[in-house]
Amino acid sequence: MRASVLYDAPGPRGRRRNLVLTVLFAVLLVVLAYLGYRKFDEKGQFDAALWEPFLRADVWVNLILPGLWNTLSAAATAALIAVPFGFVFGMARLSEHVWIRIPAGAIVEFFRAIPLLIMIFFAQYGGSAVFGLTVTSFSAVVFGLVMYNGSVLAEIVRAGISSLPRGQTEAALAVGLRKSQAMRLILLPQAVTAMMPAIVSQLVVLLKDTALGFIVAYEDLLNAGARILPSNFRNLIPSVIVMALIYILINVAVGQVATWLEKRSRRSRKTTAKPVAPPDSVTAPATL
C-alpha cells in the first residue's frame, strides 16, 4: 500500500472494514449524486449556455487565472511567514525563562481566540482608522492568515516537541550538549516527522482560508467565481462548482507534495551511532 503522511496504514481487519464501508458509502454517494443531478437538471443548471464561458480563453486569462494566482500568492506568502512564526513561538512556549514563555503564550492564545475574519477586517479598516496606515487587501489577508495559522502551528510545534520522551533531552544534556543544541540536533528532527500530518492539514486550511479575503474585496479565486463571473454570465452554481474543483486539485497537490517530503525525510535519516555488538562477540575480562 502507498504510504500517506496524513494517516497510518491499516492492518488486515482494518482494510476489510474500510472496504465494506467504502462500498456502502460509494452506493450512498451514487444515490445522492443521482438525486442531485435530477434537481440540477430540473432547474436548468446543466444548460450549455451556463457552462459555455468556461470554454472561452478570455474568461480563463482575464478572470480565473488571475484569481488563482492571487489565491496562491496570498497562501504562499502567509505560509512562508506562518511556519517560522509557529516554530519560533512554539519553542518559546517551552522556554524555561518566564519572560519568554509567558508573552509567547499570551500572543499565541490571543490570536487563536480571535476569528480569522475579524482579523482580516480589522487589518483592512482598523489599520487606516486607528493607525492611519494604507493597508491593501492582500496585506490584510496575509496578516490574518499569518497570525491565526501561525498561532495554531505554534501549538502544533509545542505539542510535537512535548510528545517526545523526556529521556532524550536528559541524555543529550548528559553528554554535554547545551539546551539549544539538544533542541536543534535531537528533538526537532524527530518532532518534525511527528508534526508533519498536522502541519500539512493546517497549510491546507490556510489555503482555503484565503477565500475569506472576500470580505475585503480581495481579487482571489472565490471573488472571480462567486462575484465577477455570475454577474456577467448569470451562472452562479456552475461557477462555484468549477472553483471548488480547482480548490480540490490544489489541496490534493499539496497533500502529494507533503507525502513526497515525508518519504524523502525518512530515506535521508541517518545516525552516527555505531552498531551494537552482538552478545556473543563480547570478550570477557581477563581474571587474575
Which DSSP state fits 181? H
Q: Cα torsion for 279, 280, 283, 284, to the nearest 10°?
A: 80
Would you say residue 160 lies in a domain?
Answer: yes
Task: Tell me the per-residue pLDDT of 255-281, one tens digit each, with 9 for 90 and over.
Answer: 787 777 767 766 655 444 343 344 444
CATH number at residue 84: 1.10.3720.10
Would you say residue 268 lies in a domain?
Answer: no
Distance from C-alpha of 221 to C-alpha of 79, rounded to nearest angstrom: 18
Q: What is the pLDDT of residue 267?
A: 65
Would you say residue 267 lies in a domain?
Answer: no
Quote the mean pLDDT of the chain: 83
Matching residue, cell 488571475: 66
Would you say residue 246 lies in a domain?
Answer: yes
Alpha-helical regions (H) of 52-136: 57-59, 65-92, 98-113, 116-121, 127-129
Asked whether residue 286 carries a pLDDT value surpassing 60, the answer given is no
Q: Cα torsion for 266, 267, 273, 279, to the nearest 10°?
A: 90
Matching residue, cell 482580516: 120
Asked whether residue 136 carries a pLDDT value surpassing 50, the answer given is yes
Exposed/middle/buried for residue 191 (C-beta within 10 Å: 0-12, 13-18, 19+): buried
Q: What is the pLDDT of residue 7?
A: 59
Q: What is the pLDDT of residue 210?
A: 92
More confident residue, 14 or 207: 207
Asked whether residue 105 carries a pLDDT value surpassing 90, the answer given is yes
**Strand, coil or helix: what is 21?**
helix
Would you say residue 269 lies in a domain?
Answer: no
Q: Residue 254: in which H helix or E strand, if any?
A: helix 236-267
Percent of the chain with pLDDT over 90: 33
Q: What is the pLDDT of residue 265?
A: 64
| Residue at 287: amino acid letter | T
Asked whether residue 254 carries a pLDDT value surpassing 90, the answer given is no
Q: What is the pLDDT of residue 200?
A: 85
Asked whether residue 19 carries a pLDDT value surpassing 50, the answer given is yes
Among residues 263, 98, 91, 109, which one has the least CA distance to residue 160? 91
Q: What is the pLDDT of residue 201?
A: 85
The mean pLDDT of 211-236, rounded to a whole number, is 87
186 touches 177 (CB < 8 A): yes
The mean pLDDT of 109-127, rounded to a whole number, is 89
Would you say residue 47 lies in a domain?
Answer: yes
**Strand, coil or helix: what is 141?**
helix
Would you say residue 283 lies in a domain?
Answer: no
The mean pLDDT of 83-101, rounded to a whole number, is 90
How far apart, in Å, do the first and last CA atoms of the chain sit? 59
pLDDT band per the 50, 70, 90 thresholds, residue 288: very low
CA angle 256, 260, 266 (to 5 degrees): 145
Matching residue, cell 474500510: 18
The domain total for the chain is: 1
Task: Tell me the per-residue pLDDT of 62-72, one tens digit each, with 9 for 90 and over.
Answer: 989 999 999 99
C-beta neighbour count of 15 within 10 angstroms: 12
Task: Tell me the per-residue pLDDT of 145-190, one tens digit each, with 9 for 90 and over.
Answer: 999 999 999 999 988 888 888 777 778 778 777 777 777 777 887 7
Give the contacts of 260 (CB within 8 A, at least 6 positions apart). Answer: none
CA angle 14, 16, 20 (to 5 degrees): 115
The mean pLDDT of 99-116, rounded to a whole number, is 92
Among residues 84, 157, 150, 139, which one has the least CA distance to residue 114? 150
Would you say residue 275 lies in a domain?
Answer: no
Q: What is the pLDDT of residue 176?
A: 76
Q: What is the pLDDT of residue 180?
A: 74
Task: Tell me the per-residue pLDDT of 30-45, one tens digit each, with 9 for 90 and over.
Answer: 999 899 888 888 888 8
Domain that holds residue 59: 42-260
Distance from C-alpha of 52 to C-alpha of 64, rounded to nearest angstrom: 14
Q: What is the pLDDT of residue 281?
A: 46
More confident residue, 267 or 11: 11
Q: What is the pLDDT of residue 231?
A: 87
120 touches 143 (CB < 8 A): yes
**Global pTM exceeds 0.85:** no
Task: Tell me the per-residue pLDDT of 76-88, one tens digit each, with 9 for 90 and over.
Answer: 999 999 999 999 9
C-beta neighbour count of 176 within 10 angstroms: 7
